[in-house]
Amino acid sequence: MKFKRLLALGLVFMSAAMVGCGSKGNDTSSADIVTEIKEPVEITFWHAMNGDLEKSLTSLTEKFMAENPNIKVTLQNQSSYKDLQQKITATVASPKDLPTMTQAYPDWMFNPIKDNLVTDLTPYIENETLKFDNYEDILPSFREAAKIDGKIYGTYPLDKDEEISIQKDGKTTNLLVIRDGKADVTEADCPDKLCVHQKAISKTNETIVCLPNKVVVQVIGAGESELDSIAR
């Protein structure tokens, strides 16, 4: 079905989570799901892919539109992930200007979810008519990273230096620093700060645990690379 292929397109390129945005709430019932596109539809997709990734995205998008002439997908490159995050944050105040879907790390979406601006795609994935049967082809770590209100809060590559603020109820509880291929919790608001005193981790299945804040940072394998995940 047409929508199934569109959804797959977004999820396949989910090095960060892909979420659906909108000015309405994120509750979707089976009766609300569109299973056939009869009228022209335009979709705007914000992303920050460059180089070969952008070329692949453009090629797949063009193929998708050729197979689905009623659907126009407009790709809008925001130059960098930093610029993409800033634009999402700024545009939340004006929901009508949000894209149909966007790339986003899970921790970028806490406020949009709180404001009811993110659409839950699970009903579409599980819909019997759409039969999204290639969902299992996506790496489990990427699938889990797309779950904002589930157990996984974020998945990050260890080969990219980054600082991640782990938040709860809008307040930063822990600061995770990824540098030189290692992940380290450098700040925490917990009383004992045992997580801060744990050594930096870099090997598969190594963890840093903050019991008071119910945070677990774990290194998980993903082929030849390593991914760092955060769970509550």
Q: Give the domain ranges of the chain.
A: 2-145, 152-231
27 in the Ramachandran plot: left (φ > 0), alpha (ψ -120 to 50) or beta? beta
pLDDT digits (tens, 9 = 90+) for 118-148: 887 778 878 888 877 777 776 665 665 555 4
Give the mean model confidence (pLDDT) for residues 194-202.
90
Residue 58 has a pLDDT of 95
How would you label 120-135 residue by residue, b for 16+ Cβ within 10 Å and e otherwise?
A: bbeebbebeebebeee
Helix (H, G, I), strand (E, B) or coil at 186: strand
Residue 152, pLDDT score: 54
| 14: confidence class by pLDDT, cuts 50, 70, 90 | very low
pLDDT computed for residue 215 by the predictor = 81
pLDDT score, position 225: 47
Of 213, 203, 206, 208, the residue nearest 166 (C-alpha):
213
pLDDT (0 to 100) of residue 146: 58
Alpha-carbon distance of 38 to 50, in angstroms, equals 33
Q: Are 43 and 72 in contact (CB under 8 A)?
A: yes
Average pLDDT, the chain: 77
Highest CATH level, class, for 2-145: alpha beta
Q: Is the pLDDT of residue 187 over 90?
A: yes
Is residue 49's pLDDT more than 80? yes
Higher-pLDDT residue of 225, 81: 81
Which pLDDT band, with edges at 50, 70 and 90, does 6 fall under?
Answer: very low
Measured CA to CA, the distance from residue 37 to residue 2 in angstroms comes to 7
Q: Do the two domains 2-145 and 152-231 of this chain adopt the same fold?
A: no
**Reduced to 3 states, what is the DSSP secondary structure of residue 47?**
strand
Among residues 220, 54, 19, the alpha carbon closest in space to that of 139 is found at: 220
Highest-confidence range of 2-6, 26-30, 36-40, by mean pLDDT? 36-40
Q: How many CB atoms lie within 10 A of CB 190?
A: 16
Stronger pLDDT, 230 or 106, i.e. the higher one: 106
Domain 152-231 of CATH type 3.40.50.2300: no
DSSP string, 90-145: HHTTSGGGS-SEEEE-GGGSHHHHHTT-EE--HHHHH-TTT--TTGGGS-HHHHHH
pLDDT, residue 3, reads 42
81 CB neighbour count, 10 Å cutoff: 19
What proportion of the chain, given as a percentage, has pLDDT over 70?
A: 73
pLDDT digits (tens, 9 = 90+) for 22-34: 554 455 555 678 8
- Tens-place pLDDT, residues 87-124: 998 998 898 899 999 988 766 776 787 788 888 777 88
Question: pLDDT by residue (tens digit) across 57-90?
Answer: 999 999 999 988 999 999 999 999 889 989 998 9
